[in-house]
Chains A and B, each alone.
Chain A
Amino acid sequence: MLPSSFAYVAPTTVDEAVQALAAGGGDAKVVAGGQSLLPMMKLRLAAPGTLVDINGIAGLDVLEEADGMLRIGALVRHGDLERSALVRDRYPIIHDAARHIADPLIRNRGTFCGSIAHGDPAGDWATVASALNAELHAVGPDGPAVHSARDFQTGMFETRLGLDQVLVEARIPQPVAGQGSAYLKVERKVGDYAAAAVGVVVVLDGDTVTEAGIGLTNVGPLTIDAAAAAASLVGRSIDDAAALEEAGRLAMEASDPPSDLRGPAEYKQDLVRVLTKRALRTAGARARGEQA
């Protein structure tokens, strides 16, 4: 299967990429890893007139902590995150998710930012970015623009990213004292999308939750920011089984999964409830420095 014909542009700077997108007049797409876009183009579900390949832009592979933020550049692959000691030690939710995205071969190409820009509610990274309250830094003809990961997706395969904008970097607040996180995913087999997945971040003062973020993957038309579930935990003990049960129930109520080959809606909703509780227990243990 070959994609439809397209014009190929390989810029070496972000400004050139922005110009190429503008020249494409709304019919241009950025390609980084291409592990979602190229299959769609091969199936002719997508047929951009121009492909702007950002792989030749120096510096977009940045993966480092600076100014209180973890910077994940647009060319950081899932596998880079999986193998990063910094990520493993300080951002367990990212490490958890990286190990279960697609398969190891796809993880060598696909990118964190590309997954988020793709706007697929089955994408794991949009959930992780939402739970971590990430900033998404884009550049367009009018200069830089910053989007919040928590309301970035606007529809199936639609986001706030302008057609003339390049998502150049995600920035994630560095963990504070007492922070723990986890990502739990149930998939039918390696390489499949999640039947359901939950990402959680908690900050503890002693046993008391002072901040929380909860994101849900592939259980609705959008990546879900389960804000009510997260808010319900604040001020309560991470060891309070009733508090975790309530958060699980609220997360479940925030989900709206379809029944499909990955299971009936009721099953997926119950997965959300159970995975939320489990992820909270794991994140809590990690926040206290316990093995989990």
Chain B
Amino acid sequence: MGDKTVVTVTVNGEEHEALIEPRLLLVHLIRESLHLTGTHIGCDTSSCGTCTVLLDGRPVKSCTVLAVQANGRAVSTVEGLEGPDGLHPVQEGFKEEHGLQCGYCTPGMMMTSVALLAENPDPSEQEIREAISGNLCRCTGYVNIVKAVQYAAAKEGVTA
């Protein structure tokens, strides 16, 4: 029971192989096996969303996905956002619009926002609020987070 198994997961475009127990959660694979600690663990009960990563492009709570279920699939984390030209527009938006204070929810907020803008490049305020409704912030408040996403949408609209 619980024999270790080899998984191959592409994280931020780079293929990783790991020998893991089937009960290992995806967030632990990301943080402890791959040492990508930008993805945070918050509530650990699938409530807060700070562990949000993209699994094959869709945002999911990585505390509630088994690492073995990511075998052969693509994962994107906050570390993959910055490109050769600097910050991702969503990152820049959070910086410019003061979309964070303590920063704990920020990686999850940004991954959810990136997925939203990929699907809906020009979201309304209501659509932004609905999209981030599974991500909790306990200090900045949502006003500036919404502004940060709007900033990114405007910026991406210009560059696209």
Q: Interface on A for B, CB 8 Å cutoff?
A: 1-8, 10, 31, 34-35, 38-39, 41-43, 49, 51, 53, 55, 79, 102-106, 108-109, 190-191
Contacts of B58 in A (CB 8 A): 79, 108
Chain B residue nearest to A41 (CB atoms) is B23
Q: Give bound CA distance, A8 to B65, whole Å.
A: 14
> Are B1 and A5 in contact (CB-based, < 8 A)?
yes
A99 to chain B, nearest CB (A): 8
Cα A105 to Cα B52 in complex, Å, equals 8
Q: Find chain A residues with CB under 8 A from B66 CB.
A: 8, 31, 34, 38, 51, 53
B46 touches A106 (CB 8 A): yes
- Residues of chain B lying within 8 A (CB to CB) of residue A42: 25, 44-45
Residue of B nearest to A7 (CB): B1
Closest 6 A/B residue pairs (Cβ):
A103-B134, A5-B2, A8-B22, A105-B134, A190-B133, A108-B58
A2 touches B134 (CB 8 A): no
Q: List residues of chain B with CB within 8 A of the CB of A3.
A: 23
B64 lies within 8 A of A109 (CB): yes
- Contact yes or no, A55 B69, CB < 8 A: yes
Looking at B2, B23, B65, B71, the one whose CB has the most chain A CB atoms below 10 A away is B23
B25 and A8 contacting across the interface, CB-CB below 8 Å = no
Interface flag for B153 (CB, 8 Å) = no
The answer to whether B45 and A5 touch across the interface, beta carbons within 8 angstroms, is no
How far does the Cβ of B27 sit from chain A's closest Cβ, in whole Å? 11
CB distance from A262 to the nearest CB of B (A): 16
CB atoms of B61 and A34 under 8 A apart:
no
Question: A102 and B22: CB pair below 8 A?
Answer: no
A108 to B66: give the CA distance in the assembly, Å.
Answer: 15
Is the Cβ of A2 less than 8 Å from the Cβ of B46? no
- Closest Cβ neighbor of B131 among chain A residues: A104
B59, closest chain A residue (CB): A105
A196 to B125, CA, bound (A): 28
For B45, the chain A residues whose CB sits under 8 A away are 1, 39, 42-43
Q: Mark B50-72, 1 if CB is under 8 A from A, else 0.
A: 00100100111100111011010
B148 to chain A, nearest CB (A): 18
**B1, B44, B69, B134: the one within 8 Å of A104 (CB):** B134
Q: Pick from A1, A34, A39, A190: contact of B134, CB below 8 A.
A: A190
**Cβ contacts B13-24/A at 8 Å (1 or 0 each):** 000000001111
B60 touches A49 (CB 8 A): no
Beta-carbon nearest neighbor of A55 in chain B: B69
Is the beta-carbon distance between A105 and B61 smaller than 8 angstroms? yes
Chain B: CB-nearest residue to A107: B134
Question: Within B33-88, which residues are at the interface with A (CB < 8 Å)?
Answer: 44-47, 49, 52, 55, 58-61, 64-66, 68-69, 71
CB distance from B139 to the nearest CB of A (A): 18
